[in-house]
C-alpha cells in the first residue's frame, strides 16, 4: 500500500455533520489534531511523482487554507514557487475575484500574482462538490493561465470527471472515500 499512513489516518478521522453534509475532520483537510511530518512526506512524495508528468510548469497554485501545507512541501521538493488563492482581498492591480460555493459554505477568494501565459499545477486537500475547483479553474481560464493538472489528496464526491471534461484538465486524486453510517470507506 503506497499511501499507508494516509489510509490509516482516514480510518481514525472523526465525522461531523454540517447540516446534511458529512464532514471528515482530518489532519490534511483541517490540521486537526495536527499534521504529522510522516503523513505530509508520504503525500508530498506521491504528488512529486505525479506532477513530474506535467512538466514544465512555472508555479504551484493552491487555495487557502489547507492546500497551503501541501503546496509548501511540494514547492520545497520541486524547487517551484507557489501561489495561494486567498480568502482576503488586497486590491492589488490585476486581482481577480472568485466566488466559491462548497457543500457547506459560500465565500469569495482572490487571485493575485498569476497572469496570462503562466503554466501551473493545482494542489489541494479535498474535493467534494467541486464548487471551489470549478470556480478557480474558470477564473484561471479567464486570466489565460494554463492549468496542466490538478492534484487532490481526498476525493469525497463524484464531480471530478465532469469538471475534468468541462475544463479539459486532468484531475488526479490520491484516495477516494465515501462516508457510510458515520464511517470512512476507502474506494479501491
DSSP string, 98-146: EEEE-SS-EEEEEE-S--TT-EEEEEEEEESS-HHHHHHHHHHHHHT-E
Mean pLDDT, the chain, as a whole number? 94
Which pairs with CB-CB distance under 8 Å and at least 24 residues apart come from 159-163?
A: 159/127, 159/128, 159/129, 159/130, 159/133, 159/134, 160/127, 160/130, 162/130, 163/130, 163/133, 163/134, 163/137
Read off the pTM: 0.95
Confidence of residue 1 (pLDDT cuts 50, 70, 90): low
* pLDDT at residue 104, rounded to an integer: 63
pLDDT at 18 > cutoff 90: no
The answer to whether residue 188 scores a pLDDT higher than 90 is no
68: containing domain: 4-187
Give per-residue pLDDT as tens, 109-166.
Answer: 999 999 999 999 999 999 988 999 999 999 999 999 999 999 999 999 899 999 999 9
- What percent of the chain stands above pLDDT 90? 86
Q: What is the CATH number of the domain that holds 180?
A: 3.40.50.2020
Question: Looking at the 3D structure of the chain, how many domains does it have?
Answer: 1
Q: Average pLDDT for residues 88-111, to the nearest whole number?
A: 88
Amino acid at each position: 500500500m503506497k499511501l499507508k499512513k494516509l489510509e490509516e489516518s482516514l480510518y481514525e478521522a472523526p465525522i461531523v455533520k454540517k447540516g446534511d453534509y458529512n464532514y471528515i475532520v482530518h489532519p490534511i483537510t483541517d490540521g486537526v489534531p495536527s499534521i504529522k511530518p510522516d503523513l505530509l512526506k508520504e503525500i508530498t512524495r506521491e504528488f512529486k511523482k505525479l506532477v513530474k508528468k506535467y512538466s514544465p510548469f512555472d508555479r504551484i497554485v493552491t487555495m487557502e487554507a489547507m492546500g497551503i501545507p501541501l503546496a509548501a512541501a511540494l514547492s520545497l521538493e520541486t524547487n517551484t514557487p507557489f501561489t495561494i488563492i486567498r480568502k482576503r482581498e488586497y486590491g492589488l492591480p490585476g486581482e481577480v475575484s472568485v466566488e466559491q460555493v462548497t457543500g457547506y459554505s459560500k465565500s469569495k477568494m482572490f487571485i493575485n500574482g498569476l497572469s496570462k501565459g503562466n503554466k501551473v499545477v493545482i494542489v489541494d486537500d479535498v474535493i467534494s462538490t467541486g464548487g471551489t475547483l470549478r470556480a478557480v479553474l474558470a477564473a484561471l481560464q479567464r486570466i489565460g493561465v494554463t492549468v496542466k493538472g490538478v492534484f487532490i489528496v481526498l476525493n469525497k464526491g463524484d464531480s471530478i470527471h465532469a469538471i475534468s471534461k468541462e475544463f479539459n484538465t486532468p484531475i488526479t486524486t490520491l484516495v477516494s472515500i465515501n462516508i457510510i453510517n458515520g464511517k470512512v470507506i476507502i474506494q479501491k
